[in-house]
Amino acid sequence: MSKLALDKFSKLPKIELHAHLSGSVRYHTIIDLLNEELNALDSAEPQKIKSEIDLLNCLKNKPSISCTNSRSLSECFQVFTILHRLLNNLNILEKVTHDILQDFESDNCVYLELRTTPRNIYDQNRTKILVSKRHYLKKIINVLENFERCHKMRVRLLLSVDRAKGVQDGLENVLLANELESKYIVGIDFSGNPHVNSFQDFEQIFNICKENGLKTTVHIAEIWNDRDKDFILKKIRPDRIGHSVCLDQEEVEYLIQNPIPIEICPTSNLVTKCVHQIDKHPFFDFYSKNKNYPLTICTDDCGIFDITLSKEYELISEAFKLSHEQMFYLSKTKMNFTEILRWCNDYSASDAQGFDPFCP
């Protein structure tokens, strides 16, 4: 991260609870990897790679002038396919994961919960598994362990169940979480393209998580025609929910009466056109109606959108005229809203001493 990137909220101790690993790979690393493919002597499809670079440019937080089309969530999912092709060996995976941790720490994040979908990495013909899901995960856990040994920031991992990959694949991930018994794995995330499949098909997996004491967080209401809202809010009642931007008034009221902590992802919602204006972001519905509603501001895919957690704080603070002090308390009080983060409370309390919210 550039030294020049000192944002208004970069001194504030922050937590990040909603960051997808592949989506958090540095923007410039993604572009470099694509250029490497483009310049390879045996580059088979240069035109295709050039259009992938264009797509990334358009999804970036500050799109180039040539990007006139509205971008959509579906285009975001095209980028994940590209990323999964690029992140095709353990060395790259190790490097990008380490960079992600460094970037969050440089931004004064004190607790980072990364999430990732365990995946097998195949050879070019897709016939042979080069890296199994288990090895993929072990590598990431190894990077987290090494990082914690010599850094202040605490890091944990959620294993993702990708709705687009189906129930069997998701089940494998939950079983892996149980088998590995790593202190770094703190729960299961349910994510993936909300236009594909339904989380109602995954009820058995939600039950297995409950039976095994695995915490859950679920992407919900990222699009308007999310048919799973009632099922998730009333039947599953996960430990946390992500996005929750396309809720009607009745659903907002229901949550205010029966709160589930929400991971708010402002830039992601804007770039993917799930929210059209930041000052209309439903964050404020919850914040203004109940100052104690457990809300946390997150980045979602900071690499793809080329943003920082501090920038997300700035966006919310400016849109809703929240002072530095209010943002400080938002950040601080949200740190103790889950059991997972109980220890983080002490950490942040001592770390925040000497931090003057009035003099950033």
Report how far residue 205's alpha carbon sits from residue 167's, in angstroms, rounded to the nearest whole number. 8
In 202-264, which residue ranges form alpha helices assigned H by DSSP?
203-211, 229-230, 249-257
| Sheet containing 240-243: order of strands | 14-20, 109-116, 154-162, 185-191, 215-220, 240-243, 262-264, 295-297
219 binds ligand 6MZ, rule: CB under 6 A: yes
Compare residues 140 and 255 and give the one whose CB is closer to ligand 6MZ: 140
Which of the residues are catalytic?
222
> Nearest 5 degrees, angle CA 297-CA 302-CA 307?
85
173 binds ligand 6MZ, rule: CB under 6 A: no
CA nearest to 114, candidates 315, 298, 334: 298
> Out of 20, 133, 156, 334, which residue is the one contacting ligand 6MZ (CB under 6 A)?
20
Give the shortest CB-13-to-ligand 6MZ separation in angstroms. Answer: 25
287 binds ligand 6MZ, rule: CB under 6 A: no
CB environment 23-54: b (16+ within 10 A), e (fewer): bbbbbebbeebbeebbeeeeeeeeeebeebee
Among 14-22, 57-65, 245-253, 349-357, the segment contacting ligand 6MZ (CB under 6 A): 14-22
121 binds ligand 6MZ, rule: CB under 6 A: no
112 binds ligand 6MZ, rule: CB under 6 A: no
> Out of 76, 141, 214, 270, which residue is the one contacting ligand 6MZ (CB under 6 A)?
76
How much is the CA Rg of the chain, to the nearest whole Å?
20
Give the shortest CB-84-to-ligand 6MZ separation in angstroms. Answer: 6
Give the shortest CB-312-to-ligand 6MZ separation in angstroms. Answer: 14
> Out of 170, 192, 266, 282, which residue is the one contacting ligand 6MZ (CB under 6 A)?
192
116 binds ligand 6MZ, rule: CB under 6 A: yes
80 binds ligand 6MZ, rule: CB under 6 A: yes
Give the shortest CB-272-to-ligand 6MZ separation in angstroms. Answer: 6
308 binds ligand 6MZ, rule: CB under 6 A: no
Interaction pattern, residues 42-61, with ligand 6MZ; x per rule: CB under 6 A: --------------------
Question: Taking CB under 6 A as the criterion, which residues in 130-159 touch ligand 6MZ?
Answer: none
- Count of Cβ atoms closer than 10 Å to residue 343 Cβ: 12
Compare residues 82 and 330 and give the one whose CB is closer to ligand 6MZ: 82
Tokens 């694949």 sit on residue: 169
Tokens 């944990």 sit on residue: 156
**Site residue total, ligand 6MZ (CB under 6 A):** 18
Report how far residue 268's alpha carbon sits from residue 105's, in angstroms, rounded to the nearest whole number. 21
CA nearest to 355, candidates 110, 2, 104, 4: 110
202 binds ligand 6MZ, rule: CB under 6 A: no
- Positive or negative CA dihedral for 228, 234, 236, 240? positive
Binding site for ligand 6MZ (CB under 6 A): 20-23, 76, 80, 116-117, 160, 162, 191-192, 219, 222, 268, 272, 300-301
